[in-house]
Structure formats: structure tokens, C-alpha cells
Amino acid sequence: MTAVHTEYQGNLQYAADIVLCIDATGSMSPVLESVKESALNFHDRLTEVMEKKGKSISQLRLKTIVFRDFGDDPDDAIEQTDFLELPAQAAQFESFLRGIRATGGGDVPESGLEALSLAIKAPWERGLDRRRHVIVMFTDAPAHPLGSVGVEQQTYPAGIPRSYDDLFELWGYAGSQGAVMEQSAKRLVLFAPDEQPWEDIAKDWDLTLQFPSKAGMGLEEFEMSEIIDTIANSL
Amino acid sequence: MFALSVWTEVRPGFGEDAHPLVAFHRAGGEGVLAVFDGSGGAGAAPAWEAPDGDTRSGAWVGSRVARLAVESWFHRAVTRRDGDSPDALRDDLGDLLALAPSQHSKITGTMRRSLPTTLAGLRFWTASGEIRWQALWAGDSRAYVLSPRFGLQAVTRDHTEETDTLELLRSDPPMTNVISRDRPFHIETQRMTLHLPCVLLAATDGFFGYVHTPADFELLLLDTLSRAGDMAGWATELHRLVSDYSGDDASLSLVALGYADFEQLRHAFMPRGETLTAWLRRGGRPSVEGDAMRRWQDRTWAEYRGDYERLLRSTKEGSA
């Protein structure tokens, strides 16, 4: 026999799809620019963190879902992009992010669960090996119960589950049949307050990480580098 | 008995595998080998500030504490002849983890664990030309029997929802059972008796989780054995190669029982190594990822898995 060690090396690369759900209501104003800047640097930062862990990214796609409140202004309650591949589609990604303004929302709660539903039902990568499907929720507010606000509006997205339990089924759990998320790939990272529904989701759904924020106070207590590290570690 | 252990870390000083354990009680003719892989994702939060001022993660601390627990469990078992059950080991792990340093983390969620680590080990007894072994594990590190006739045979099944070994290589899924301070866990066990001579080993996924096909790990073991002059040389070769190809910290502990000397051990595995090398090269190994690689992986795994999984099937009967 002869040394064949270069043949041993398998696939060390991860295919990462990340959906950023960003609360763009008025109270997020102090932190929104920081979230946007971090998102713009996401590819470089994630690559750097993964290299330190001895791993790399074979494909990085980012999808952004901006949400406000169907109870306040249904016309700007949801804005979203398709999955954009970075760095190839960085200009399109940047253009969308630069256009996000923190405005409206009225009183809490906001329409975060609609954004989470859209994220869960996103067209995730199914072909590449070592897939990671990560949803990252940035919000400082509780969310309306599904089916309670805005359902009758023309701008309300089609296919949104009508209850928390239905949404849980879509997220899935070990052995579940109705899940649309892949059990081995999915992760949910919440930068959200210890209020409903986020508290229950972090506690009851599998494969979650939560950085609790203070309701109505933005996310300013968190360093974005820590957030990036958390996402990288979740891979 | 001959033994070796190999330990590598990707980031110097911060490797989340504990040093592998190999211990043998000569008077009783019994021993233990084990590996421990701190879970970096679930245990990323800082847990302990070392005297040098650097902070170590919960995964780093968890694997070290688990190693200490297994070593003290084995010591008690051979000296006092009590408390050697898997449940007693689980209790020891829980007790020591409760005493270990850990900082409060503001991160919560079901992925997070306090001091999370895997364990895969084999306790063994030798007598009258036979070896009795008991596999003990939690998580996705693995224990194996290596034989000249059947090659590498897994004796543990990963605690993951997916159980197909090739799919595990492709998906690297989360664990469903892992040792930690703050969540319930269990130690799974299997027992069997085999004839000597015999090679037993345990390894973390840094060794077997970054190859193209499950048979590559056996090829690595036999290729390095064929070129070594003694156990230290074998360990050195394994260390060099795993550092080269792996994307993770890696650790392995191994014992060879019933062989007169290293040359007899090396010679016993030569035919198997040559057959394996020729088989893996037959038809050509694709050089890049893609459809051809997937077909090659599917084919080689389909042909290899029968012997690889034979002890997982036969442990139900208790011998093979």
C-alpha cells in the first residue's frame, strides 16, 4: 500500500442558506443600521469565522424578509427578496438592505410570525451536502397570534398557517411527517424578547438559540460580532 | 496488549476533544478506552477562564470533565467491584459536571447545552483466549472492532435521527442524545464476546466524519499500520494524516489484544489492507465532488456496509 491521504479528504464545505427576518418598525431604528451593516459584511465575516473552525462555505445564499405590522399598515407589512447568492449577487442584496427604513408598526405586537412562516416555507437548497438552513429573527417586540390580524388584507401572504400549532408542524420535530424544514439542516436563531411567542418557540421548538432582548429597546445590547459568531456556531 | 492514542486540535490550545483515554488493570485483565468530543455548537458559550487568561468554552470543559468521570468510574469499578453499571457512569458524569466551572450564558434555546460532550468507549475483559467487551456511548463518537477477516465493524450507532452512515457523512446532523449538565441524557450500551486476537478502538468524528466514504476510515487505519514499525510509529502516522485531511479536532484510542508483537499485528492485517486498497481504487475514485462522487459513494457504501454493520446486528444475539 502507498500513502493516499489526499484521497481521504471528503467534503469539508457547508452549503448555508440563511433567511434574515428583520423587524423594521420604529423601535428598531437605533439598531437597524447596525443589523444592515452586519448583513452586508455577512459573507466575509462568516467565511472568516468558519475558517477559524477549520471549515468553509461551498455556497452562501441569503434571503431577507422585512416585517412591520399588518395591524398598522398592511401595505408595508412584508417586503422580501428571493434567495441571493453571495458574493455574486451582493449588489442586489445591498440595494435591498439600503432601502430598509425603520418606520411605523404602531403599538406592539408586530407581524413577526408571518415573517417566520414565510422563512420556513422558503425554497431551501436541497441538493448540496452538509446543508444548513438557518432562520435569523431580529425583533424587539412580541408577535400577533397567527390568523388574528391582517388575514383579510390583499397584501397578506398566501399560505400562511392560521395557528401557532400549524406553524410548529411546519417547523417539525424528530419523526414528524408534516415538516417542511429538514431536521438535519434547520436552525432558528432568535434575537427577540422573552415575550410571546418567542419565549415559547425558543423553549419548545427544537434546534433554537435565543438571545433575549428587551422589548421596545431595540437590540443595542448585543455586539454584532457576537451575533455572527452565534450564527456560525449554529452551523 | 498494545495500545495507542492520537489527539489533534484545529485551534491550538482550544481543541474541544479531550485527550483520549486508555487504561488497563493488569491484575484483573480488564481495561477501558474512550474518546470525548465537546460539542462546539451547543457548548460555544465561555465556561472557564484558564490561568493563562484565555477563556475555554463549555464544550472544552465538558469533554475534559467526562474523561475524568469515565476514568474515576473505571478505577472504582476495578478496585471496589461495585458501581460499574452504565447507570452508575451516567450518575458519575452528572455529579462531576455539576461541580465543574460554568458561566451563566445569556443565550438560551433548545440547541444550547451546558458543558456538552459525546462519549464513546469500550470496557473489556480478557480471559481464556476470549475478550468480553461492553460498548458505552452517548452522541456521535464511535467505537469499533477491527479484524483481519471483516475489517472495521461499528459497535455503536450514532444518537442522531438519521442512522445511515453515508448519509451521516453527507448531512452532519444534530445529535438527539448528548452528555450535558443541564439536560437529561443516557449512556447506551452493547455487550459481546469475541475470540482473541482482536483490535478495539474508539474515535471522534474528526477521524471518520471528513472522509468520502465510510471505508476510507478503515483504509486510513490499515494504510498507516502497514507503514509503521511499532505502535508509536502507527500513532505518529495517524496523527500526521488526520491533521492533514480533517476539518475538526480528532481523537482516537486503540488497543490490540492477543498479538505476540507488533510485527504479528501488522502482518495479520496486510492482506485485508491490500484487498481494501484495490477495491476502493477499482473503477476509479472521482477527484471532485459531484454526481460521479455521489454514485461512487453509494456503490462503495452498499458493498461495504454488510460487514461494517454486522456486529450492530449480531449484538442482539450476544456473540459473533
Spans in chain B with pLDDT lower than 70: 314-320
What does pLDDT average to over chain B? 92
Cβ-Cβ contacts under 8 Å, B212 against chain A: 7-11
Query: Which residues on chain B place their C-beta less than 8 Å from a C-beta of chain A?
Result: 10-11, 40-41, 44, 106-112, 160-162, 169-174, 176, 210-213, 216, 219-220, 222-223, 226-227, 241, 244-248, 273-274, 277, 285, 289
For A159-201, write each residue's pLDDT tens digit: 999 999 999 999 999 878 889 999 999 999 998 999 999 999 9
Count the Cβ atoms, other than its own, within 10 Å of residue B200.
Answer: 25
User: For B2-314, CATH number?
Assistant: 3.60.40.10
Q: Which residue in B110, B210, B277 is closest to A205 by CB distance?
A: B110
Residues 6+ apart with CB under 8 A from A233: B40, B41, B44
The residue ranges of DSSP E strands in A118-195, in sequence order, are 131-138, 186-193
Point out which residues pair with A180 in neighbouring strands. Answer: none
For B254-285, write each residue's pLDDT tens digit: 999 999 999 999 999 999 999 999 999 887 88
Q: Residue A225: which pLDDT band, with cuts at 50, 70 and 90?
A: low
Cβ-Cβ contacts under 8 Å, A3 against chain B: 223, 227, 241
Query: Can you give the pLDDT at residue B46?
Result: 85
Q: Is the N-terminal amide bond of A109 cis, ω within 30° of 0?
A: yes
Q: Hey, what amino acid is at B265?
A: L
**Domain definitions of chain B by residue range:** 2-314
Query: Can you give the pLDDT at residue A36?
Result: 84
Alpha carbons A163 and A121: distance in angstroms, whole number? 15
Sign of the Cα pseudo-torsion (A122, A12, B7, B205, in order): positive
For B185-202, write each residue's pLDDT tens digit: 999 999 999 999 999 999
Alpha carbons A6 and A22: distance in angstroms, whole number? 43
| Cβ atoms of A11 and A129 closer than 8 Å | yes
Q: Which CATH architecture has domain A12-194+204-234?
A: 3-Layer(aba) Sandwich (3.40)
Alpha carbons B131 and B146: distance in angstroms, whole number? 13
Strands B198-203 and A78-80: unpaired
Asked if B44's CB is within 8 angstroms of A212's CB, the reply is: no
Asked if B110's CB is within 8 angstroms of A206's CB, the reply is: yes
ipTM of the complex: 0.89
Locus of grid cell 502507498: A2
Query: Can you give the pLDDT at residue B313?
Result: 74
